[in-house]
Chain A
Amino acid sequence: MSAVLQNLVNQPYKHGFVTEIESDVAPKGLNEGTIRLISAKKNEPEWLLEFRLKAYQKWLTMEEPQWPNVKYPKIDFQAISYYSAPKPRKKLGSMDEVDPELLRTFEKLGVPMHERAVLAGVAVDVIFDSVSVATTYKQKLAEVGIIFGSISEAVHTHPDLVRQYLGTVVPIGDNYYAALNSAVFTDGSFCFIPKGVKCPMDLSTYFRINTQESGQFERTLIIAEEGASVSYLEGCTAPRFDTNQLHAAVVELIAHDNADIKYSTVQNWYAGDENGVGGIFNFVTKRGLAKGVNSRISWTQVETGSAITWKYPSCVLQGDNSVGEFYSVAVTNNYQQADTGTKMIHLGKNTRSTIVSKGISAGHSNNSYRGLVRIGPTATGARNYSQCDSMLIGDQCSASTFPYIQVRNNSAIVEHEASTSKIGEDQLFYFAQRGIGNEEAVSMIINGFCKDVFQQLPMEFAVEATKLLGFKLEGSVG
């Protein structure tokens, strides 16, 4: 690989600092006692403890999946701490009472914790290690009946809602990591948009792993009632450690008749260093149920971080005429590995799904798209369009595409397109010959490549994502 391309890919991680803050960390190890401890710390109702214990029993019988196209040493689940929370100085009443050290951390990360912040108009729920530390704009949202805040709080304030929906889209035994999450999840966001309400602002969660030995197992639940709509953003970072941290989240979305949920992620967990040491193992289960007629679930993700990403945000299109969308940019560099994609399960009539996946691999990384389109026998008139493009930077990296298509209804129309391209020295030379330097050329090529996905992101996020990709690939030219 040319020196030009070499440098382009090696850019220091900007969020790798650790916050010095006193934390309440549970002893390492996983057993029934750990689960009871978490549940007790959160003062949870009995039904939730049962939910956890059932999941734990299930998990014990399960095997870690071997099919993803990623390699990593066996995870020692006994070496992880399953609960870590910054010790609050006192009971929080408002944002001004949040530990200033935490405020500084999130300021440094560019997350607006003050409602008067520059990025106004976005409500934020901030999760630090295992717990939610702050939620902004709560009051304002409550006025239109929207419930937005941490899930542990919702368990107490709206137990019936949580109980009604939790685990309905991703059952406790769905997969190995989902079972683990169901057993030990610590916090996450809960969001409920009542009938007919269009959420007046974007809702957002910001996840930060701070403690070295802790895993992060967050649980997000979003419900849009009939005719409701919401746009939800998720961002994540972690400090730079030379050990791997496990992040195994579960996200469940439920859209009723005519409801619309748009879920956008910019994932920038620490990816490990240039030799592949350290970084987050990001094993995530995200699934949306388009339950009602004309409902819509749309996933947009920009995955740039993590040592390993294993993630398939999916849509179950149950309601007639429901719509599922998946727009993804996954960037891997150095020794990062990503096996990501989606599942579109068509059950209702005239259901439609769109998949646009853009994989960019640089360095020695390995980037796979894995996607399933299943048209069930009842899904008359279903349609799917998939487009999976890979781009290689340099010649040490690899890209693979694994499309699975299962059609059980003759009226379905399924289209799949795929392409692989490469940023070559001759392309960069062409730009240079027209006065355009390498970094600008690469950014132009990458932005062009990702255009179809970026334009799905909310404005501020699109700007953020473009910058992030620039950082990520900057300096590999030179």
Chain B
Amino acid sequence: MIYQNSKPLLEVRELRATVNGIEILKGIDLTVRSGEVHAIMGTNGSGKSTFAKVLAGHAAYVVTGGTVAFKGKNLFELAPEERARAGVFLAFQYPIEIPGVANNQFLRLTYNTVQAQRGKDELDPLEFDDFVREKMKLLEMSPDFLDRSVNAGFSGGEKKRNEILQMALLEPLLAILDETDSGLDIDALRIVANGVNQLATKDNATILVTHYQRLLNYIVPDYVHVMESGRIIKTGGKQLALDLETHGYDWVSIEQRAAAGV
């Protein structure tokens, strides 16, 4: 939701990044203020996940230009784990499996790490068990997932739910959900969207990367951006997503090219 006078949480200016020497991000500009929901759409390979991983600090991606400020401070001065502790959360498009590490231990460690950072109480295993089970109920997740290894053998949709569970535990300031809707069945989509909506406050913000207008019926974005070849080429309100659904991405590209006079 757009609030009057809310502070910018994330300010991206002219951001460029390469992977393996190939330039993927070619000058991204984006401002996200507290309380807002932004959707980023765009064709396969346009750089959406790359953008998300650059913000989270993946070592394979090299920032070659531009600036990113998070709460007014240079984000790139923080190591990936420090960004996470500061409130940047990425729900992965493809959550990785970690065999051998029990989900409940992992969840508790990440929860306590972030709690400690915020000067709040850590929970012992028993307290945490009660706490996490409550959160799982909201997401209609079976407690069986606590005893399994992190994401190991989870179905595609189960992995996505486990991501949202982590988001619910960590209560991030900035949540980037990279195609969290892909692979979710219709019921799960509703449940996950409800979860995300419940977590939204005037102090935090969400960036949804998605291919489908359907998700945006549940989580209504304040802004919709279209990414193409490593740039945001168009920004609009929620209507833009509907227009895209009708006309396709070519339509934006043509319009964009016309506007740019090419």
Contact = CB atoms under 8 A, between A and B. Distances in A.
16 contacts: A427-B98, A429-B58, A430-B95, A431-B81, A432-B81, A433-B57, A433-B89, A434-B106, A434-B113, A434-B170, A435-B84, A436-B81, A436-B109, A436-B110, A448-B98, A448-B102
A427 B58 CA distance: 11
A119 interface: no
Interface in B103-120: 105-106, 109-110, 113-114, 117
Nearest to A451: B100
Contacts of A440: 109
Given A426-B96, A434-B170, A444 B106 contact: yes
A449 interface: yes
Identify the 4 closest CB pairs spanning chains A and B, nearest first. A448-B100, A432-B80, A434-B110, A435-B84
A236 interface: no
Given A434-B170, A436-B110, A444-B109, A2 B59 contact: yes
Contacts of A425: 59-60
B205 interface: no
A432 B110 contact: no
Contacts of B96: 424, 426-427, 430
A239 to B, nearest CB: 35
B98 A435 contact: no
B105 to A, nearest CB: 7
A29 interface: no
A424 B105 CA distance: 20
A435 B110 contact: yes
Nearest to A4: B59
Interface in A433-468: 433-437, 440, 444-445, 448-449, 451
B17 to A, nearest CB: 15
Contacts of A434: 84, 106, 110, 113-114, 166, 170
A437 B85 CA distance: 11
A357 B6 CA distance: 57
Interface string B44-75: 00000000000011111000000000000000
Given A435-B84, A435-B110, 6 more contacts: A430-B92, A432-B84, A433-B92, A437-B81, A444-B105, A445-B101
Given A4-B59, A425-B59, A436 B98 contact: no
B99 interface: yes
Given A437-B81, A444-B105, A448-B101, A432 B92 contact: no
A4 B60 CA distance: 12
A182 B166 CA distance: 59
Contacts, number: 69
Contacts of A429: 56, 58-59, 80
A436 B99 CA distance: 17
Nearest to B97: A427
B90 interface: yes
B57 A436 contact: no
A168 interface: no
A433 B100 contact: no
B149 interface: yes
Given A435-B81, A436-B113, A421 B99 contact: yes
Contacts of A451: 100
B79 interface: yes
Contacts of B110: 434-436
Contacts of A427: 96, 98
A433 B84 contact: yes
A356 to B, nearest CB: 13
Interface residues of B, number: 30
Of the four ranges (under 10, 10 to 19, 20 to 34, 35 or more), the interface on chain A belongs to: 20 to 34
A476 to B, nearest CB: 15
Given A2-B59, A444-B106, A444-B109, A433 B80 contact: yes
Contacts of B84: 432-435
Contacts of A2: 59
Contacts of B85: 435
A430 B80 CA distance: 10
A375 B107 CA distance: 44
Contacts of A445: 98, 100-101
Given A440-B109, A448-B101, A433 B56 contact: yes
A429 B60 CA distance: 10
Contacts of A431: 81
Nearest to A2: B59
A181 B102 CA distance: 44
Interface in B97-156: 98-102, 105-106, 109-110, 113-114, 117, 149
A63 to B, nearest CB: 41
A449 B117 CA distance: 28
A212 B205 CA distance: 64
B60 A435 contact: no
Contacts of B113: 434-436
Nearest to A432: B80
B105 A435 contact: no
A436 B2 CA distance: 33
Nearest to B53: A429
Contact of A444 (B56, B80, B101): B101
B185 to A, nearest CB: 24
Contacts of B106: 434, 444
A432 B100 contact: no
Contacts of A426: 96
A433 B80 CA distance: 6
Nearest to B95: A430
A210 B100 CA distance: 38
Contacts of B117: 435
Nearest to B87: A435
Interface in A1-34: 2, 4
Contacts of A449: 99-100
B19 to A, nearest CB: 13
A162 B59 CA distance: 61
A425 B109 CA distance: 19
